[in-house]
Amino acid sequence: MQARVHVMLKAGVLDPQGEAVRHALGAMGFDGVKGVRQGKVIDLELAEGSTEADVRRMCEKLLANTVIESFTIEMA
């Protein structure tokens, strides 16, 4: 069983990495980029019987800083 977790900074939280990417793209001639938000993807290989609730607890305890980050879970 697999799960994919997408972690992103919450709206309103400054994203210095995203801003650096936006600036670099502008310097490379990609002037149409108005903003960039950078996040992370975490792929988990889980034991059979694991649930989305299990993954949610993993996110809340370790994988995401829920004060400044939000996350979504895809189970497969």
The amino acid present at 27, given as its one-letter code, is A
Q: Enter the tokens of residue 75.
A: 């189970």
User: Taking residues 31-60, what's their average pLDDT?
Assistant: 97
Tell me, what's the pLDDT at 5?
98
Predicted confidence at residue 62, as pLDDT, reads: 98
Query: Which domains occur in the chain, in start order?
Result: 2-75 (3.30.1280.10)
* Model confidence, pTM: 0.88
Q: How far apart are CA 68 and CA 8, in angstroms?
A: 9
Residue 40, classed as helix, strand or coil, is: strand
Q: Please name every residue paired with 63 in a beta bridge, in sequence order, or none if there are none.
A: none
